[in-house]
């Protein structure tokens, strides 16, 4: 039986919601963008996969710097900055004209999104086990991973049942990210009050 006491801590509860919203944004992004590149740019599936390399490389490089950044600025501030950067990347993608080609329309947002993702994933996972009782840390971590697993299908389902327009899909991801930013800002306030 799931111990409901894990949801009493506002930072943990906020982290669970943030992780859910992160995947509500990112799984649809990973699902729709390769399809768009194949349809609009004529990329093969392999080329569409290679087009994600800028995001992946930046994400990896940022993740290597996370311990230093978290020690200097704190977990929740890094998470909040990551959400802002993710939002900026999605907005740039949303306003860019996709018919101008990959380099002009996708490459720059990919780099920004990789930076945002790199700053979000580990800090939101850490917040998901924040001050969990020692005997429940595994369960707290499991809830975080459960939010990760169900967030993507929820976001993808909401977008698919609402639109088939790529730009509208991106703007829905922007909305999910704005909600996550609001929740993370509450995490920051809660962290400040508890210190």
C-alpha torsion 10→126→24→92, nearest 10: 110
Residue 186, pLDDT score:
86
Query: What is the rounded distance in angstroms from the CA atom of residue 64 to the CA atom of residue 183?
Result: 25
Is the pLDDT reported for residue 191 higher than 80? no
Buried-exposed string 95-129: b where 16+ CB fall within 10 A, e elsewhere:
ebebeeebeebbeebbbbbbbbbbbbbbbbbbbbb
Is the pLDDT reported for residue 3 higher than 80? yes
Q: Using pLDDT thresholds of 50, 70 and 90, give the confidence band for residue 6.
A: confident
Residue 195, pLDDT score:
45
The model's pTM is 0.93
Instruction: Spell out the domain ranges in the chain.
Output: 26-32+59-194
Residue range 171-181: average pLDDT?
Answer: 97
Predicted confidence (pLDDT) per residue in 71-84, tens digit: 999 999 999 999 99
Average pLDDT, the chain: 93
Q: What CATH superfamily is the domain 26-32+59-194?
A: MFS general substrate transporter like domains (1.20.1250.20)
% of the chain with per-residue pLDDT over 70: 96
Predicted confidence (pLDDT) per residue in 119-144, tens digit: 999 999 999 998 898 989 899 999 99
Indicate the range of 46-55, 97-106, 109-118 predicted with least confidence. Answer: 97-106
Q: Count of alpha carbons within 13 Å of 193, Cβ hemisphere only?
A: 9
Residue range 174-187: average pLDDT?
Answer: 93
Q: Using pLDDT thresholds of 50, 70 and 90, give the confidence band for residue 180.
A: very high
């Amino acid at each position: 039986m799931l111990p409901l006491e894990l949801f009493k801590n506002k930072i943990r509860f906020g982290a669970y919601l943030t992780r859910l919203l992160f995947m509500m944004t990112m799984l649809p992004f990973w699902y729709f963008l390769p399809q768009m590149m194949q349809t609009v740019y004529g990329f093969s599936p392999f080329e569409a996969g290679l087009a994600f390399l800028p995001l992946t490389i930046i994400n990896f490089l940022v993740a290597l710097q996370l311990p230093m950044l978290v020690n200097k600025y704190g977990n929740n501030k890094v998470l909040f900055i990551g959400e802002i950067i993710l939002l900026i990347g999605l907005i740039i993608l949303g306003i860019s004209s996709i018919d101008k080609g990959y380099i002009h329309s996708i490459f720059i947002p990919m780099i920004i999104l990789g930076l945002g993702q790199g700053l979000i994933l580990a800090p939101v996972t850490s917040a998901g086990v924040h001050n969990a009782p020692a005997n429940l840390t595994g369960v707290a971590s499991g809830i975080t991973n459960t939010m990760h697993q169900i967030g993507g299908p929820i976001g993808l389902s909401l977008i698919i049942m609402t639109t088939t327009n790529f730009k509208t899909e991106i703007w829905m991801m922007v909305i999910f990210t704005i909600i996550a930013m609001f929740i993370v800002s509450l995490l920051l306030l809660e962290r400040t009050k508890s210190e």
